Structure 1
Amino acid sequence: MKRPELRLQTIALTAILIVIVTALSLVLGRYAAQARSPSDAWIQPREIPNTDVNPFGANFFLSREVEEWKRQRTVQMAREAGLGWAKQQFAWAEIEPLRKREFIDPVSGESSWAKFDDMVDLFRANGLQVIARLDLAPAWARPPDSREETPPQDFDDLGDFVYAFVEHFRGRVQYIQIWNEPNIYPEWGEQAVDPVAYTRMLQIAYTRAKEADPNVHVLSAPLAITLGEPHPEPGKWRSMPDLDYLSAMYEAGAGDYFDILSANAFGFDLPPEDAPDRDVLNFRRVELQREIMERNGDGGKAIWFNEYGWNAAPSSFSDEALIWERVSEKDQAEYTLRGIDFARREWPWAGVFNIWYFRQTGQQYSPDDAAFYFRMVDVDFTPRLVYDAVSDATASLYVASSGHFEETYPAVAPDPEWQTAIAPEASGGELLQSDVPGASLTFAFQGHSVDLIARRGPEDGYLLVTLDGRNVAGLPVDAQGRSYLDLRAAEVQWQARVPLAAGLSTGQHVLRLTVADDSPAACNVDAFEVNAGQPPAFPLAPVAGLGVGLVAAIAGLVWDLRSRRRSKYF
């Protein structure tokens, strides 16, 4: 007969063994989670201004969308895809249609700004910054019976419009592009293209834009990538090779009149890694434009991509219809990501990539037109493979890991009351500035410590600081018990490092900076640095103790089982 005390002893030892194994698993699992670095590599500063940004943007046709719900759904899908930028045309002819300095819609009799105000507000409400393409002169400004793409007869008329535009949208639209593809027909009208004339246009537009807002960013017109087409007049071009046109712009002094160079980057039927060649149109052709910039001493500026992508027209299209060649939809999605990955890895001067295009209204392109097949989203809001691929790729951008991150990085989310200020002394050439009490920004990150890079000086203010919704240990507290940071200093200090928190647990954290109600001046936020820190010490004592217990429990269980086996015979 089996002794009941032996059976109870077996059950107890088994239970003890399970508890010890569970406890040991929890201790080791916690250590592994804490020791795992948020990022194995420190992300180095991107030193060229306007490059530490969300690289994903797209071209939109929102001004042509009549129904409000469609505009809202379009922008909502862009936000859900993680896009950070909306490239949108603002046609001069629509805003100042009938005569100079009259901003009246001839149909409604109301302000011609109203539609565009709503559009900008919609983009901004969904977290997308606007890049405004300014072109298409009104009939009163260009020669009689000329094409709408024709430049104005008097470039000062464009300059005055640019001033009015920048002044109207100050603080809401901080990036403007002057004209579009002036090196090809018909974007310069029914005449030979003229890089010297375009440079004069750019000079006037740039000067007037900076008069309206010194902190607005002016982008040059992107050049269509082309091998050229001669004009009937000897020595002139109907469409001029992009490399020759850009060289001529620099010879005319264009380098002084833009902050960011715009470029087009279509991949045609070639993968993004295909090497650049003067006689080949491909994605990396932009490297040849970059060489021209650097030869002219302009290597300190970024290049942003006005139109970017691969066309996925059906294979049934004729060669003549495939202006941009074609790839499969699968390759379109893959190449789009590979191109941006390549650029972020190899081109320290690359900034925003505006995919051509997000969604059309159904009026721009028919299914018989190869251009139809660039879309990220169909007219009926069906997402294509490239949309899904971009959505997956952007997911990690909104949480910073270990490294240096400018205030323009997508993990930094400022309220509208924070404005970009261009400052050559700042990290990355600019900073975020606000003097509005209550204006806040957040910085989402994973790491064990975080530092603020800021401007300090006699004319700087106070920031309230919280981490994960709580006061930050080590910072002073105000009369209301809130932790804060005093950015004042006897002398101006650019790129001043302020350690904010250390010894943080593994996982995502949210730092919030808010302009204090009693701040005596504006606050200037320049960058953030996150460090994964040293891994935690191995939990030797608890592991050793549990290990001894585990060995003892196993030994006891083995002895008990042998005892039960012997008891069967006695």
Structure 2
Amino acid sequence: MKRIIIAIVGMLISETVGMGWAEEVTLNYPLERIVPRDQWRLDAWGDRGATAWDGKKLTADFSKGAGAVLLRFPDRSLPGTIKKIRIEVNGSAAGHPVSLHLHTHFMTFSKSIGEIKGQGKQVIEIDGPPSEGWTWHGGENDGRIHGPIRLAELRFESGDKNTVELVFESIQIIALAPIDRQVILTARKDSTDTGLCFAADLRGFSDEPIAGKLIWSLRRWDGQTLAEGGRDVRIPAGLKTLTESIDAPSLPGECRFVEAEFSFEAVGQKVSPVYAYWMGKFEPNTDLTLRPESPFGMGVYLNRFGPEEMERVAKLAGQAGVKWSREDFGWGHIEPQPGQFRWEFTDRILDVATRNGITVYAIVAYWPGWSKGYTQEGVQQYAEFLRVLVRRYKDRVKHWEIWNEPNIFFWQGPKELYADLLIAAYKAIKEEDPSAQVLGISTAGIDYGFIADMLKRNTPFDILTIHPYRKVLKDGEFIADLAKVSDQVKLPDGTHRPVWITEMGWATHVPHHVLGQDFAPNSQKAQASFLARSYLCTIASGVQPRTFWYNFRNDGDDPFYFEHNMGIVQIDGTPKPAY
């Protein structure tokens, strides 16, 4: 049985109905509470002039030639299956087409909602995707829902060269959810004046409270229970959060790890257990010497950060003993227009990595807007860019990976064209630096069929790269898979080419209460075990590996979206047990 709920955008909402409860609940929260100003991003294409946002009123100034004004929402998972989106505004934006954009995994849904032409208070109501009128692009590119929906942006496009003022009264989401999924539970480490504690946050979404029992357990790494208990709780109605704190007992002197597990039991409800952690101090690695012979790499992705954050993340990685990083050398960023090169950013990546004992290999992927993507001309443009890139960095970068996961949606052209790209890239790199190593094929999973097709096309590469993600790690099976693919790509004389695992990892997200995702949720303790076993398996396989865990730092702070929870440190740099 399913019923409709309504929830305000930005809250991490769960459906909230039960037998005898109202079928539809409207929750009116101030926009600034749902989308805090410190998380809001106001942007514009071009000169934004006097464009401003105060948490409720949008001033969009098009008089300076801005192509669009964008209200960008924090990247948060919305609960349930989204049926409608209702926007209530006061004012007019006549002459400016408006569109709404949502994310589901890597895919973006977009829908034009026309112009806000009237005066005074107006309501715009939109059916949720994938209903009529929505377009989509990126990622899976199939028009289907791939996990939780995240509101991305509301876009006002240029038209009249005027200034628009709109007051946002509310933004609401109408969602469907099973009747047995009415509670959202998350957990976190907390602290008090007296010491360590853990907190469980519970939200109920109905017009009546939800009664049940919160159960908790505190454990050491070896599974020994330090404390446990339970208490009756009553989750308030109306999106109010109930926080229940548990004080940790005095810890034994040798204890450096505590796992807190919380679960919630209520009649008719299914709620997944959640975890929080405390770790003691550890001695950081102090060997910041470059050691390219080391098999221990990470997707540190310094390219995702500004200067200060780059330094901080690289320092954390160096202290963890990371000796390699996979770094995107973005073509469109380095060469924004044909023949115009910007080197400062990639120079900084290499400088920062080197200071922290990290050797960089570069992945070069994705077409800039000016290129002739997925054509033979585009292949030659890519090869010429590689020539310039290798010429500049051949004394600092000796390994170049050609594209990312061309066996799936990251490559939108014919698969045989990727073979042409790899052939042209290999030739260009070797002519500029004969000692350079070309990393090729780079499959999502271990795609034996795609690899075989590339071999039939005589694609040259020095090192095979694969991304052997899996829900369950069976050590013997994994080692056998590596040996099998190593045999598949051995040279005619029997020489085995190295096999590098340039992405692999397990996420630590809280499961979304309704929608499944490509990656299963894991506890942080389980992630730590997977990491250690993965590196040991690759070394034991004998495939001359470098292993790059995906990834080093969490990509965001949404507890429910798996892509935000792949790292071994939190987005604020707090280490997880895998660190």
Per the normalisation by structure 1, the TM-score is 0.48
The answer to which structure has the higher strand fraction is 2
The structure that has the greater radius of gyration is: 1
Per the normalisation by structure 2, the TM-score is 0.47
Higher relative contact order (CA 8 A, sep 6+): 1
